Amino acid sequence: MRALYLPRILLAALCFCGSLLIAPVAQADTDTPIGSWMRADGHTVFIIAYCDTGLCGRIAGMSFDHPTDPQPLNWQGQPMCEEKIISLTPEYGVRNRWHGFITNPKSGNVWQATLTLVNGALRLHGYFGVPLFGRTENWTRYTGQIGAQCHIIAAG
C-alpha cells in the first residue's frame, strides 16, 4: 500500500521544487518598474528604463483618433514620441519608490514626482511644491504593440 503513495509524494515534491524555481522569474516581472506601462487614461504608453543614476521614462506610443493622424508635437514643436519626460532616482531607504521630475510635454511645465511600484502596478504622483497638492495615476503593464509613427495598435 505504501508503495502506491511514494510516486505521488515524489511527484508532489518535484512540482513544489519546480514552482520554487519558476516563482522568482514570474515575480521579477512584477517586482521592477522596467518595461512598458499604459497610463490610466489608456491613451499613452511609456517605457521605463535604467539611466544615469536611476530611472527614465519616455513616451513610446499614443492612441490617435485616425490611423493617419500625425504625432502630436511637444511645447517646442518636436514630436512627442520617444521624448524623455520622466527622470527619477531611488528614494533612500524605501524599496520600490523613486523620486524626481516629470515634464508635461504639451506645456513644458516640470513637476516633482514619485513613482511607487505596488503589487505589480505603478503609482505615479506628480505635484508642484507640496505632495498634498498633486495628482496620482495608476499605470498598468502594457503588453501590446506599438506601430509606425508611435501609434498604439489595438488588441484584437
* Pair (85, 10) in one structural domain: no
Q: How many domains is the chain partitioned into structurally?
A: 2
pLDDT in tens, 23-73: 333 334 468 899 999 999 899 999 999 998 799 999 999 988 887 888 889
CA distances from 21 to 8, 16, 18, 26 (A): 20, 9, 5, 10
CA angle, residues 96, 146, 30, in degrees to nearest 5? 25
Q: Are 81 and 7 found together in one domain?
A: no
The reported pLDDT for the residue numbered 55 is: 94
For residues 81 and 9, state if they share a domain.
no
We report the CATH number of the domain holding residue 115 as 2.40.128.520
- Cβ atoms within 10 A of the Cβ of 112, count? 16
Q: Is residue 41 located within the same domain as residue 25? A: no
- Helix runs in 31-143, H state only: none
**134 beta partners:** 127
The amino acid that residue 97 corresponds to is: R
The reply to whether 16 and 41 lie within a common domain is no
Query: Quick one: pLDDT at residue 89?
Result: 93
7 and 66: one domain? no
Contact 29, 38 (CB under 8 A): no
Tens of pLDDT, residues 74-131: 999 999 999 999 999 998 878 889 999 999 999 999 999 999 999 999 999 999 887 7
**Which residue in the block uniquely carries the three cell numbers 500625425?**
70
Domain ranges, residue 44:
35-153
Answer yes or no: do 19 and 73 share one domain: no
**Do 102 and 78 fall within a single domain?**
yes
Radius of gyration of the CA atoms of the chain, in A = 21
**Cross-strand bridge partners of residue 32:** none
- The single residue listed with the C-alpha cell 505632495 is 131
User: Bigger pLDDT: 141 or 128?
Assistant: 141
User: Looking at the structure, do residues 72 and 106 belong to the same domain, yes or no?
Assistant: yes
Residue-level pLDDT at 110: 94
